[in-house]
């Protein structure tokens, strides 16, 4: 039988509005108030039912005048509802891992001409590019948890990547958006430890996942698929759109790529991309960290010292830890491995014969790293184009909001680094590009301070769902419409927690107002202040400069205000004398080689 009539009392009076709407919401048609519905059978409309407040439905005689009246009005109301429901926009959210804005040509920069991203550029041309989308905690899992909950790490419970599992029982936007009749699907990299909740469909990579022949986890268990991970995730998204969703319902589809996460293993078709010359180098590739403090000097994320010749740089002849051989090459099919070695072996032999040292060696490492990274980006860009084309072919694009972002930014040689974690610009700022036909003006650019903290609220607002008061961000819909709210934030708060751990970046918090950035490395009791207008590369700490005294005083007040606003607990400093893991890369090497040295 079909849907039961609701909203009319036994004596023909309307129920209270909230009760009727609650019942409709439960049935996936929230936002529409109907006096009743008609129950259907395989033969069509078999009978109308008059619902009582006691929950008992009384049949009406098929030939009664009242029945005919109810039928006509109900069909008219149902038609009106269908028209309303058809206007609920779909949402496709394509999300990558560690995608720097420097590697999207629409954002400009030194790599824009050498490594264009045509599909992402087209998305920006047809929608809005957000210049300052800032993350709350620049590391994979915590960023994803913030997107799901609309809350900072200390409240959603996912503060670090290491030994943390996301509490899937808490409030998340997928659970809330389902109440508005939306289907929810999660495909790709999850990286939150626990299984996804709030999704009608999910197929996720276990942990970090693999570039070649990846395993996928579903509610039914684990299985392996042959191919390149970005292509497989893209195809799964298209399959869900065509065969696994309910076509009469709006949906949110989250397509989450592993790429371009470390170890940056490109697809076979792009193994020789960018081989025709050297890529431009960032001005700070050989940064000495003068003008900054302990945290910048004592990290473990330099291209020079931290990168592994095998796993990171693909020189399998020097894969002393066997991480690359066992983790990547041995996972390939014979055909895949043959193609890979045919591309890399000649280049590796040329490198080995050159016997590079010093800055020449760093430059070679930079070229290998960034080329592999950009080769991975080519596949992500292809995915964006392929999914958008698929939506257009299926007639879905005009009623679909298409959003692209990443969990955080990344260093592509700036300050001599790779990875993320710091509040410095390259990892603090993440890409955000959105297209919404008929709503977002094509070619729009926003310089507002927006954040991954705002994503959950934005998804809910697009769907017409109520945004819970305990969410800490704000919807971006107004900005998308070209009308930034008058009370929009003018500062943004940041907090990174994972120390000791991978890359040994000190814990820190900070506040940014669009020009000045104040950072507190509280375990080492050091402060940094940067004037991003005069010093966009963040090379000179101005915290103790008397000329910036008023700025320091103001930002301290803003930081205290943010800590109170976001309900931060008091900071408890670590005793760094008790930290026994100074450089994580050396500890990993020792464990893998039985105590050897780098």
Sequence ranges of the domains in the chain? 17-86, 90-219+250-267+376-487
So what's the pLDDT on residue 10?
Answer: 29
Identify which of 386, 373, 317 has the alpha carbon closest to the alpha carbon of residue 345: 317
User: What per-residue confidence (pLDDT) applies to 580?
Assistant: 74
Instruction: Kindly state the tokens that stand for 133.
Output: 């989308």
Max intra-chain CA distance, the chain: 95
Strands 432-435 and 400-406, by their bridges, are antiparallel
Residues found in the chain: 598
Contacts of 270 (CB under 8 A, 6+ apart): 375, 376, 378, 379
Q: Is 7 left (phi over 0), alpha (psi -120 to 50) or beta?
A: left
Would you give the DSSP letter of residue 442?
A: T
502-526 CB burial, b ≥16 within 10 A, e <16: bbbbbbbbbbbbeebbbbbbbbbeb
Task: Give me the pLDDT at residue 582, please.
Answer: 65
CA nearest 585: which of 498, 507, 497, 502? 502
pLDDT given at position 587: 62
- Residue 434 contacts residue 125 (beta carbons within 8 Å): no
- Reduced to 3 DSSP states, what percent helix, strand and coil does the chain have, rounded to the nearest 5? 35, 15, 45
pLDDT in tens, the chain (598 residues): 333 323 323 223 333 333 333 333 332 333 332 222 323 333 332 333 323 322 333 333 444 554 554 445 445 444 443 443 447 999 999 999 999 999 999 999 999 999 999 999 999 999 999 999 999 999 999 999 999 999 999 999 999 998 789 999 999 999 999 999 999 999 999 999 999 999 999 999 999 999 999 999 999 999 999 999 999 999 999 999 999 999 999 999 999 999 999 999 999 999 999 999 999 999 999 999 999 999 999 999 999 999 999 999 999 999 988 999 999 999 999 999 999 999 999 999 999 999 999 999 999 999 999 999 999 999 999 999 999 999 999 999 999 999 999 999 999 999 999 999 999 999 999 999 999 999 999 999 999 999 999 999 999 999 999 999 999 999 999 999 999 999 999 999 999 999 999 999 999 999 999 999 999 999 999 999 999 999 999 999 999 999 999 999 999 999 999 999 999 999 999 999 888 766 666 666 665 566 554 4
Q: If you compute the radius of gyration of the chain from its CA atoms, what whole number of angstroms results? A: 27
Is the domain defined by 90-219+250-267+376-487 classed in CATH 3.40.50.620? Answer: no
Count other Cβ atoms within 10 Å, centred on residue 136.
Answer: 27
Tell me the three state secondary structure of residue 526.
strand
């Amino acid at each position: 039988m079909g849907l039961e009539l609701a909203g009319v009392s036994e004596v023909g009076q309307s129920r209270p509005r909230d009760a009727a709407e609650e019942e409709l919401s439960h049935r996936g048609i929230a936002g529409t108030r109907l006096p009743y519905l008609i129950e259907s059978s395989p033969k069509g409309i078999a009978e109308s039912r008059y619902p009582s407040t006691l929950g008992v439905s009384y049949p009406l005689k098929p030939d009664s005048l009242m029945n005919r009246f109810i039928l006509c009005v109900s069909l008219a109301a149902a038609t009106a509802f269908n028209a309303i429901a058809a206007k609920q926009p779909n949402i496709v959210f394509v999300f990558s891992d560690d995608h720097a804005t420097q590697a999207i040509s629409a954002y400009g920069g030194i790599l824009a001409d050498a490594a264009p991203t045509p599909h992402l550029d087209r998305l920006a041309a047809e929608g809005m590019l957000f210049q300052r989308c800032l993350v709350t905690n620049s590391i994979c899992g915590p960023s994803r948890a913030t997107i799901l909950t609309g809350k900072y790490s200390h409240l959603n419970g996912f503060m670090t990547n290491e030994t943390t599992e996301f509490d899937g029982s808490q409030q998340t936007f997928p659970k809330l958006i389902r109440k508005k009749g939306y289907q929810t699907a999660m495909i790709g990299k999850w990286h939150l430890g626990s299984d996804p909740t709030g999704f009608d469909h999910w197929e996720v990579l276990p942990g970090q996942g693999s570039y070649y022949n990846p395993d996928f986890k579903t509610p039914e268990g684990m299985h392996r698929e042959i191919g390149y991970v970005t292509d497989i995730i893209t195809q799964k998204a298209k399959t869900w759109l065509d065969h696994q969703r309910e076509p009469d319902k709006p949906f949110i589809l989250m397509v989450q790529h592993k790429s371009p996460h470390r170890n940056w293993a490109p697809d076979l078709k792009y193994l020789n991309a960018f081989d025709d010359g050297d890529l431009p180098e960032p001005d700070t590739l050989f940064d000495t960290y003068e003008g900054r403090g302990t945290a910048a000097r004592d990290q473990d994320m330099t291209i020079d010292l931290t990168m592994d010749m095998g796993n990171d740089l693909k020189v399998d002849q020097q894969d002393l830890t066997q991480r690359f051989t066992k983790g990547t090459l041995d996972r390939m099919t014979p055909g895949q491995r043959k193609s890979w070695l045919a591309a890399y072996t000649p280049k590796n032999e040329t490198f080995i014969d050159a016997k590079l040292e010093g800055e020449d060696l760093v430059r070679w490492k930079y070229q290998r790293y960034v080329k592999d990274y950009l080769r991975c980006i080519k596949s992500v860009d292809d995915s964006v184009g392929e999914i958008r084309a698929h939506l257009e072919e299926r007639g879905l694009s005009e009623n679909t909001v298409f959003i692209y972002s990443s969990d955080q930014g990344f260093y592509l040689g700036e300050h001599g680094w790779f990875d993320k974690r710091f509040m410095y610009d390259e990892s603090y700022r993440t890409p955000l590009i959105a297209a919404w036909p008929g709503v977002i003006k094509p070619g729009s650019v926003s310089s507002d301070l927006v954040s991954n903290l705002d994503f959950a609220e934005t998804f809910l607002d697009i769907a017409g769902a109520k945004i819970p008061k305990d969410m800490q961000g704000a919807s971006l819909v107004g900005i998308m419409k070209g009308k930034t709210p008058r009370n929009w934030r003018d500062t943004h708060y940041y907090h990174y927690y994972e120390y000791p751990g991978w890359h040994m970046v000190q814990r820190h918090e900070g506040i940014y107002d669009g020009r000045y950035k104040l950072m507190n490395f509280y375990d080492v009791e050091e402060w940094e202040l940067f004037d991003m207008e005069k010093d966009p590369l963040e090379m000179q700490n101005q915290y103790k400069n008397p000329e910036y005294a008023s700025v320091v005083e103001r930002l301290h007040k803003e930081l205290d205000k943010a800590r109170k606003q976001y309900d931060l607990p008091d900071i408890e400093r670590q005793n760094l004398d008790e930290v026994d893991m100074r450089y994580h890369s050396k500890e990993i090497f020792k464990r893998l080689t039985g105590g050897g040295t780098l």
